[in-house]
Amino acid sequence: MTVLPEFPLPRAAGCPFDPPPALREMQQAGPLARVRLADGSTPWLVTRYDDQRAVLADSRVSADIERPGYPLGAPRPPSGGPKIGFILMDDPEHARLRRMVTGSFAVKRVEAMRPAVQRIVDERIDQLLAGPRPVDLVEAFALPVPSLVICDLLGVPYTDHDFFQQNSRTIIRRTALPADRTAAMQALNLYLDDLMGRKLAEPADDLLSQLAGRVHNGELTRQDAAQIGVLLLIAGHETTANMIALGTLALLENPAQLKVLRDSDDPRLVASAVEELLRYLHITHNGRRRVAIEDLEVGGQLIRAGEGLIVANDIGNRDPSAFEDPDRLDLARNARHHVAFGFGVHQCVGQPLARMELQVVYGTLYRRLPDLRLAVDADRISFKHDGAVYGVYELPVTF
Ligand code: HEM
């Protein structure tokens, strides 16, 4: 009997930016492989770029966590318990709820926020310059910047950041106890429900108030509105924060690339650096989870209805058929077709915002702190191997 590899797979020691080597071997060996999850289930792993996009665009696969065969790999959350917005739902309900927020993330709307984001970034750098050194860049910069931005957009008081950051961390930590995760979900749902009540009574100029307006009109239930708020609050700060800190570390470890970025005043280079770092680092490293609801063929392999699929976009972003010399960080390359934001109907709704924030950060931080460097040896940095989002726990730097 063949022993199947346990998923998630370990990264190689000393190669914190590269996907696990076993993923590359599987990609070379064939389009699909079976893996084993902690609960003993054995879903298919999709490793090649073209197959990944085909699966994620296929209406015969479902993202509904409650369907039998969904490759969760852990005890199922209680049915009817608190949900995280529409990310784990299927169309048409997914599309209906998603439509309620897409306008707020349209490129034009996001561009109008750029000066405010620039101000937030500049103020935080002023504080870094005035404060003690060394400093943890995660705590002092990478986490506050996207948290301040999403709070502004949603209309969530930033003074509550300890509360929502801590609960978000529990929800996305793979090793969190199921009871702790459910409690964190409940806490955030109650918090957003309370905020929704306040926005219903006193609407302001923010996204939660717009959702409250839809509750008022009967387009949305108050519960759905609160759950969308939870999703946007979590997705809006955790991912971008990890991209800021891990991206900075990757650049510090690739000084020639950092110099290219720092020395250029071309916004197109900054934009392409953002795409390349998204591709190269691929922080949502536990794969897009799906279950087949009808028989379908992927890469010549028949997948039966009810079988689980994990689309490993981290190795898709390193597929040589889609990116030349894929393991090289090359800020000038065109990497915009990467799958760091997923693909298909669930493709990241916040991507214009994430892109703009990262452009402001990467285009500002290293110019204003030209001597930025690690304050500890690189091998002392600890990485988030146990979370749905990869990154560093702390990044001690000086400048
Ligand atoms: C660098 C930052 C980010 C990365 C790498 C990222 C990545 C992703 C990925 C891979 C998905 C697809 C999930 C799937 O197919 O199962 C996704 C979905 C989503 N993201 Fe992001 N994201 C980022 C920033 C943001 C921001 C700033 C927001 C805004 C609040 C956001 C909101 C969402 C939402 C609401 C979904 C669910 C979309 C749906 O199911 O239709 N994300 N994100």
Structure tokens at 73: 């790999």
Inter-CA distances, 264 with 119, 253, 271, Å: 21, 19, 12
Nearest-CA residue for ligand 1 atom 15 is 346
146-189: pLDDT as tens digits: 999 999 999 999 999 999 999 999 998 888 888 898 999 999 99
Q: For the range 201-210, what are the long-range contacts, defined as Cβ-Cβ under 8 Å and sequence gap of 24 or more?
A: 204/155, 205/155, 206/152, 206/153, 206/154, 206/155, 207/101, 207/104, 207/153, 207/154, 207/155, 207/232, 208/154, 208/155, 208/156, 209/155, 210/104
Nearest-CA residue for ligand 1 atom 25 is 350
Pocket flag, ligand 1, residue 341 (CB < 6 Å): yes
288-292 and 308-311 as β-strands: parallel, antiparallel, unpaired? antiparallel
Pocket flag, ligand 1, residue 172 (CB < 6 Å): no
Sign of CA dihedral 279, 280, 282, 287: positive
The residue ranges of every structural domain in the chain are: 21-378
**Distance from residue 146's CA to the centre of ligand 1 (Å):** 14
**Distance from residue 350's CA to the centre of ligand 1 (Å):** 6
376-391: pLDDT as tens digits: 999 999 999 988 899 9
- pLDDT score of 78 more than 90: no
**Distance from residue 348's CA to the centre of ligand 1 (Å):** 4
Q: Which of 103, 68, 97, 69 is nearest to 83 (CA)?
A: 97
* Mean predicted confidence (pLDDT) in 319-347: 98
**C-alpha span between 358 and 262 (Å, rounded):** 14
Return the CATH fold of 21-378: Cytochrome p450 (1.10.630)
Alpha helices, DSSP H only, in the chain? 21-29, 49-56, 93-102, 107-112, 114-130, 137, 144-154, 161-172, 178-201, 207-217, 222-252, 255-263, 267-281, 313-316, 351-368
116-153: pLDDT as tens digits: 999 999 999 999 999 999 999 999 999 999 999 999 99
Nearest-CA residue for ligand 1 atom 19 is 348
Nearest-CA residue for ligand 1 atom 16 is 288
Residue 383, strand partner residues: 392
Pocket flag, ligand 1, residue 87 (CB < 6 Å): yes
* Mean predicted confidence (pLDDT) in 4-28: 96
Pocket flag, ligand 1, residue 356 (CB < 6 Å): no
CB atoms within 10 A of CB 26: 23
**Distance from residue 22's CA to the centre of ligand 1 (Å):** 26
